[in-house]
Amino acid sequence: MDAFVRLLHQTNWLQWRFQAFQSPCYSFFLWPFLARGLLISHGHLHAFLRCLSLHSNSYSAISKVVYTPHNSSYVTILQSSIRNLRFTSSSTPRPLVIVTPVDESQIRATILCAKENSMQIRTRSGGHDYEGLSSASAVPFIVIDLINLSEITIDAEQKIAWVQAGATIGQLYYRISQKSRTLAFPAGTCPTVGVGGHFSGGGYGTLLRKYGLAADNIIDARLVDVNGRILDRKSMGEDLFWAIRGGGGASFGVITAWKLNLVSVPETVTIFSVQRTLEENATALIHRWQYVAPNLPKDMYLSFSVGRANSSKTGKKTILATFGSLFLGPVDRLLALIGRSFPELGVKRQDCTEVSWVQSALASGGYNVEVSPEVLASRIPLTRLYFKAKSDYVQQPIPEDGFKGLWKLLYEKKQIGH
């Protein structure tokens, strides 16, 4: 209990902040509104911490995973999993409390106390939400950061895994590779994405065409609901189990773990990456890709990305298209297949590399295939950017003129942010 008393005393940091706004110029306009907001927050925080002390099995244990703005490590914990630097600014609303639970009982206590004090909950797994929804809110809120719940158990013989919701897909891939060269899981390409949000949103990657979404390969889950009940698939029922696999898990509770069906892959797969500029007929190739890619065998995944570059021929700005592929088989079969289906792309043997599946995950994650797969287990992303991004689904093929319009936008785009 002493630890919670200290936390409650520490919340007095709010009191001196009132004084900072009692200046002749600003107190008349800001004081009534700011004071009311801070008093509400102060009251929420005190009540929440007292509630936690009553609902926790161990006062000292939960006090070690509770961070208020007074804690010296508060900002470090808050920003540790924010992947979009837009949400690290001082203008971004910050949580009254961050809880980094080590077990489900601490999540249960946090949910019950947040509910009792009308505090919104943000659940964070990997922190990759484009709009920062796992770290920010416009109303008084707390963050449940699942970083301490990252245990992964692999049963290679049964082709099953349990993965806690705070783990990343890179950690999952690495742990699978430690157990088997011929098992995999169909999820995304960015290794630092958390399985909590990724799987509950569907989760697609390079094995999509062969095995579907990550959500299609989830066979059980554990969830703490709004009433503090700890549920599995049987006790939550099939409707809720269906909803958390694609409907956004945080809408229905806090998911603590997933049970997965692992899938079979060959010992050797083949990857390739080829680049073409506008001067090398990239627009026509991309247009053609729309008709080729959906009709390839399920063992082949073929995607493309585009960006600005300087032409090696003219030195002027151009559009560079990068075509990348994963083929679940040897290079000879890939070359024969792509030669029949998409000869215009001009893929050659030197463009291809035979690797293990986990090495293909390294490549799609931006790493050299020769580095140790252990890098996939790192939670530190290769890059952290200020960005604004959206995505959409194309309902029908885009005509070549449509792509030319997109290239014009890319030519004209200006650097935004830092």
Report the distance separating Cα 1 and Cα 359, nearest Å.
49
- Return the number of other C-beta atoms located less than 10 Å from residue 244's C-beta: 23
Cα dihedral sign for 52, 88, 393, 271? negative
Q: What is the pLDDT of residues 234-258, one digit of tens each?
A: 999 999 999 999 988 778 999 999 9
- Return the number of other C-beta atoms located less than 10 Å from residue 249's C-beta: 24
Domain residue extents for the chain: 2-148, 152-264, 269-355+388-412
Report the distance separating Cα 66 and Cα 74, nearest Å.
9
**In the predicted model, what is the mean pLDDT of residues 36-53?**
73
pTM reported for the whole predicted model: 0.89
pLDDT at 12: 43
- Enumerate residues 6+ apart whose C-beta is below 8 A from 28: none
Fold of 2-148: 3.30.43
End-to-end CA distance of the chain: 45
Higher pLDDT, 128 or 234: 234
Q: Give the CATH number of domain 269-355+388-412.
A: 3.40.462.20
**In the predicted model, what is the mean pLDDT of residues 130-141?**
89
Residue 42 — pLDDT band, cuts 50, 70, 90? Answer: low
Cα dihedral sign for 300, 303, 309, 311? positive
**In the predicted model, what is the mean pLDDT of residues 373-398?**
92
- Amino acid identity, position 140: P
Please report which helix (H) or strand (E) contains residue 9, including its range: helix 2-10
* Average model confidence (pLDDT) across the chain: 89
Higher pLDDT, 333 or 416: 333
Radius of gyration of the chain from its Cα atoms, rounded to whole angstroms: 25
Q: What is the pLDDT of residues 289-337, one digit of tens each?
A: 999 999 999 999 999 999 999 887 778 899 999 999 999 999 999 999 9
pLDDT at 414: 61
Report the distance separating Cα 264 and Cα 178, nearest Å.
15
Residue 30 pLDDT greater than 90, yes or no: no
Which CATH number fits the domain 152-264, given the four candidates 3.40.30.10, 3.30.200.20, 3.30.465.10, 3.40.1390.10?
Answer: 3.30.465.10
Rounded alpha-carbon distances, angstroms, from residue 227 to 45, 112, 114: 20, 7, 11
**In the predicted model, what is the mean pLDDT of residues 83-95?**
92
Minimum mean pLDDT among 38-42, 209-213, 411-415: which range? 38-42
Q: What is the pLDDT of residues 163-222, one digit of tens each?
A: 999 999 999 999 999 999 999 999 999 999 999 999 999 999 999 999 999 999 999 999
pLDDT at 18: 31
